[in-house]
């Protein structure tokens, strides 16, 4: 009897303390973490033998934009601001869907595909995620048939990220667009489509196609709607080799391009 009474008493105390805690929580102003500590911005994460490389470029006003001398400018606007009495800070984003690290959908260069709805939401996540090879392209050439042949990429490799002279020249960190960037020539794109199993092509500047072959190389790649193009990857300080790549575009219905977050995982 006494034991049952004790149990009832302690349950009651528990209940009361739980209720008052809940009440306190409702009224209390949450205490902030230490805001004098600078936020960490990292490109490499990892623990327990696993390393994650973020191969996405940061969006800054000085990031280059295709054929522009001025960079992407202010793509973020604080539409509602606490300093101006709003209940929260709320930003708006306005940008070309081909800004920074991004993906191209077939509709980018084929109007028929655009009209038929082959947008970024229709891209195959199975191609955008999985085992991938990061290779170094010889630095004295565009990605021509000869250059890609010299890389001896084995059959069965589906995802390849091509690091080029663009990374050495740090072109993605230069505000002014540089049309002398390295990319695929038309014959390089054709060689890849005809002779390899590659379905995910990644490069390190704003276009996978060299400037002089801008349209023709894109047309070769996108024609069969099998190859997915990821552009402006951040490939500095990542060792060449085999990884798991994860690339996720936004589900923008009707868009022929999308910003994309890409990471490489080495376990
Ligand atoms: C945004 O919100 C924070 C509080 O989270 C506030 O201190 C700050 O002043 C706001 N910034 C602007 C520009 O309103
Ligand atoms: C607050 O409002 C004023 C007046 O509309 C505007 O000039 C200012 O830029 C706003 N500030 C922010 C942080 O939104
Ligand atoms: C690559 O091609 C572009 C023209 O599209 C050219 O300006 C550039 O010099 C070439 N780069 C190399 C390394 O051959």
| pLDDT at position 20 | 41
Comparing CA positions, the residue from 163, 166, 184, 182 lying closest to residue 174 is 166
Answer yes or no: is the C-beta of 83 below 6 A from any ligand 2 atom. Answer: yes
- The pTM of this model reads 0.85
Best substitution site from 31, 82, 87, 88 to test ligand 1's pocket, by max atoms within 8 Å of Cβ? 82
Catalytic residues: 108
pLDDT one-digit tens code per residue, 205-239: 999 999 999 999 999 999 999 999 999 999 999 99
Task: Give the position, in ligand 1's atom list, of the atom nearest the Cα of 82.
Answer: 14
Pairing of strands 129-136, 159-163: parallel
Expressed in angstroms and rounded, the spacing between residue 85 Cα and the centre of ligand 1 is: 10
Q: In whole angstroms, give the CA distance from residue 167 to residue 183.
A: 12
pLDDT one-digit tens code per residue, 150-208: 999 999 999 999 999 999 999 999 999 999 999 999 999 999 999 999 999 999 999 99
Q: In whole angstroms, give the CA distance from residue 172 to residue 102.
A: 13
pLDDT one-digit tens code per residue, 33-67: 777 788 889 999 998 899 999 999 999 999 999 99
Expressed in angstroms and rounded, the spacing between residue 218 Cα and the centre of ligand 1 is: 44
């Amino acid at each position: 009897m006494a034991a049952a009474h004790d149990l009832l008493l302690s349950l009651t105390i528990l209940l009361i303390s739980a209720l008052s805690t809940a009440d306190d929580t409702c009224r209390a102003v949450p205490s902030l973490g230490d805001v004098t500590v600078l936020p960490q911005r990292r490109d490499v994460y990892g623990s327990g033998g696993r390393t994650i490389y973020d191969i996405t470029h940061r969006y800054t006003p000085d990031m280059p934009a295709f054929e522009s001398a001025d960079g992407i400018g202010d793509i973020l606007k604080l539409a509602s601001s606490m300093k101006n009495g709003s209940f929260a800070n709320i930003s708006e984003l306005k940008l070309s869907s081909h800004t920074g690290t991004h993906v191209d959908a077939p509709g980018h260069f084929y109007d028929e595909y655009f009209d038929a709805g082959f947008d970024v939401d229709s891209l195959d996540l199975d191609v955008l995620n999985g085992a991938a090879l990061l290779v170094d392209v010889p630095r004295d050439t565009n990605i021509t048939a000869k250059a890609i042949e010299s890389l001896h990429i084995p059959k069965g490799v589906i995802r390849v990220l091509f690091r080029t002279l663009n990374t050495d020249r740090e072109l993605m960190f230069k505000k002014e667009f540089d049309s002398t960037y390295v990319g695929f020539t038309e014959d390089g794109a054709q060689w890849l489509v005809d002779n390899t199993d590659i379905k995910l092509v990644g490069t390190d500047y704003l276009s996978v196609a060299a400037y002089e072959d801008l349209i023709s190389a894109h047309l070769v790649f996108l024609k069969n709607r099998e190859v997915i193009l990821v552009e402006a990857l951040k490939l500095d300080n990542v060792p060449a080799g085999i990884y798991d790549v994860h690339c996720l575009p936004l589900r923008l219905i009707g868009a022929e391009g999308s910003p994309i977050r890409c990471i490489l995982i080495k376990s």
